Amino acid sequence: MDLFKKIYAYDTAKKAKEAGYYPYFHELTSKQDTVVHMEGREVIMIGSNNYLGLTSHPEVIQAAVDATLKYGTGVSGSRFLNGTLNLHKQFEAELAEFLNKEDCTIFSTGFQSNLGIISAVAGRNDIIFSDKENHASIYDGTRLSYAEVVRFEHSDMNDLEEKLAKASENKGKLIITDGVFSMSGEIAKLPEIVALAKKYGARVMVDDAHGLGVMGECGRGTAEHFGLENEVDIIMGTFSKSLASLGGYVAASHEVVDYIRHNSRPYIFSAAIPASNAAAALQALRILKREPERVKALHDISEYMRQGLKAKGLKIKDSKTPIIPIYTYMPMRTMVACNKLFEQGVYVNPVIPPATPIGECLIRTSYTATHTKEQIDQAIERISEVLKSLEGFNE
């Protein structure tokens, strides 16, 4: 049988394009900001993870430009060999200090961070306990580790404890959870997870991709939010969201980070991030430290949107984060709604199976500290109008 048979038979995207409801790959022609230009339209952006509004900050842009002029466009090698810049080391030191961890190292992407961390610290003689709604990169990292993988029901602490209790005492145990779940905006039950880890001799890893710059009074993430920074063994995160760049990191004890540096295949065999990415993220971190009020502004504008949607009678997944999913239930209805909103100047993201259970499709919206109430009011009105126009559409 021809390997490409399944490829030639795939026509899902083609059908969606022909029918006019394909909602993906819209082209930006401007900086990522609260209002962007896409395909000749000015669009209110409530579908990005630019939580602190720093992707267009002049200091962040200038830092990337200056670093490119000094270091060039790439490092042409891995961190393990010729690709470590003094800028990388400086960034790692400042990020570790900010997160109240002994050490930190950075990866080329957030996805690669989870592949590299999990596959290094867990192996054939270990067990990973992973929340069923964890990010795809965690799923792939657990596969790469060759460890036994036990998935527990989403945020179900009884299920987690039952599975921990059954685990062999002779195997190393790692509990992995998103800090803020990327689709729902829910916050992990970290106090309960930490307590169970202590009870059953497990370590805890938190993917804080959507927590850094979002959770905690200073924006240090989910562990700060719960006052558990000393109790979480490994913190992972990305630069592509609050830190306005590209890349990822692991922060932990010096021994753990150094072990990852010398044993993580995705880390050792990938080129390091260019200086421009590191410099932009570092400057974004410095702005976060200097202006922690951005975190409060983010929560204030998110709450304003949350209350506005509720006032319109729209059903949302309630959370305390800047991720606000709006129920649309059926796949076709979700994609049509997203396209109609785009035509009316509002960009949002469709979330359909397998990212959600059948019948629980969502429009995922997310907010930025620099959104204005005027922008949010416009978005609320247009979302309400579009969804009400589709009330009888049940595909």
Residues acting as catalytic residues:
182, 210, 241
**Would the CA dihedral through 380, 381, 386, 388 be positive or negative?**
positive
User: Cβ neighbours of residue 266 under 8 Å, at least 6 residues apart?
Assistant: 107, 112, 115, 116, 119, 144
Burial of 35 (0-12, 13-18, 19+ CB in 10 A): middle
Chain Cα centroid distance, residue 300: 20
Tokens found for residue 53 = 């509004």
Three-state DSSP class for residue 278: helix
Dihedral, CA of residue 221, residue 226, residue 227 and residue 230, to nearest 10: -70
Residue 255 burial (C-beta neighbours within 10 Å; 0-12, 13-18, 19+): exposed
Distance CA 113, CA 367 (A): 25
